[in-house]
Amino acid sequence: MLQQLINRSPDLKRLRDEGYEIEVRNGYLIVKHIPYLDNKLTVNYGQLISSLTLYNDRTARPDSHVVFFSGSQPCDSMGQPITAIMHSSQRQDLGGIIVDHSLSNKPIGGYNDYYEKITVYAAIISAPAKAVDYQVTEKTFRVIHDTENDSVFQYIDTNSSRSNFNAINTNLQKYHVGIVGLGGTGSYILDLVAKTPVANIKLFDGDVLLQHNAFRSPGAATAAQLDQKLNKAVYFAKIYSAMHKHIQAVPDFVTPENLQALDNLSFVFIAVDNNRVRKLATDYLLQKKIPFIDVGLGVEMVDDKLLGTLRVTAGTPEKNDHLLVRIPTEDQGDNLYSTNIQIADLNALNAALAVVKWKKMAAFYQDLEEEHHSAYSINISKIFNEDSPSSIR
């Protein structure tokens, strides 16, 4: 992936051809072996790091003039910090890339490409070092190996690098996620989870994609695809494999005979409209000590308007005493969560609330309440959080 990106990006190719040690990792451009002077007038070598803006398989115009620097503070020939480019000094972890400073040098109109951006910063930083020792250079012509092949994504996640939260993203990498049910809410859960660096995603659904499903799922299925009556798990696995490399389809409903397919997962989302299947799955996951989130959507029509509730209920080995009263276990016609009214925006919101809760449990988002059950009431626009551990009540 690195070599393809460089070959298709004239600015990166020019940096490489001129001998700069460049690497692309986690959506950042890293330029190694940049000579600089420290405050003792000693020549050292640091790294310049820039977020990358990409257009398909090549670089676009940089959207930021700021770079990061890994090393001590670059100094001038008198041993004083080069204050003209200093922005801030704070050690940060950009998802395995440790930086010590951010630098700011903004030309009028910004930088045209990454060649211009990197060479300008390299010249400013290395000039004092070259004045002390004319033999030092940033152009080593050293071969840098491609590290991006280990990514779970088909292309570089520049969104995370631009926002500098790659380090937090590592909290999600250990997860082997299952999604049981690829209806309206389940398919939106997949849409969100597929954009995270989880190790793999396993999809369970024995149903076929029908016309009404298309109106409450992300994306836009074609009429030809609907005519094929494709299995939902297979259809969505193919769609989202364009982004995430490790998505597996299990084109079956969860039954007592195949529950063991859940064994190797570390987290499961349950998004089914069959309460007996819901209970079967949740009981098994509790037995196997696998944490999960179960979602429910109940909407009804009253006076020609729709009202109802979206539910997100989490269960873990440590906290599950609330499940019997929160998760329906029998299929009853008058049950709030058994109504068939589903609308894409409600499915998407239900999915978003579930994924946000999972990310809280994964220490991606801060979680002050640690609620294990929440319900969003549509007509009053309120979320009710309940079933927090007794230690924080």
Q: What tens digit of pLDDT does each residue of 210-227 get?
A: 998 899 999 999 999 999
Is the CATH number 3.40.50.720 carried by domain 173-392?
yes
- Tell me what pLDDT residue 373 has: 97
Once rounded to an integer, what is the mean pLDDT over residues 28-36?
Answer: 95
Which pLDDT tens digit goes with each residue over 346-378?
Answer: 999 999 999 999 999 999 999 999 999 999 999
Spatial separation of the C-alpha atoms in residues 136 and 34, rounded to whole Å: 9
Strands of 176-180's sheet in order across: 247-250, 200-204, 176-180, 267-270, 292-302, 305-315, 373-377, 382-386
pLDDT over 70 at 249, yes or no: yes
Confidence at 337, pLDDT banded by 50, 70, 90? very low
CA-derived radius of gyration, the chain = 26
Q: 3-state class of 45 per DSSP?
A: strand
Mean pLDDT estimate for the chain: 91
- Pick from 81-90, 139-148, 165-174: least confident: 139-148
Question: Where do the CATH 3.40.50.720 domains begin and end in the chain?
Answer: 173-392
Q: What is the pLDDT of residues 172-197, one digit of tens each?
A: 999 999 999 999 999 999 999 999 99
Residue 287 has pLDDT above 50, yes or no: yes
Higher-scoring residue by pLDDT: 97, 341 = 97
Interval 139-143 mean pLDDT: 84
**pLDDT tier for residue 334 given thresholds of 50, 70 and 90:** very low
314 burial via Cβ count (<10 Å: 0-12, 13-18, 19+): buried
pLDDT of residue 153: 84
Position 379 pLDDT exceeds 90: yes
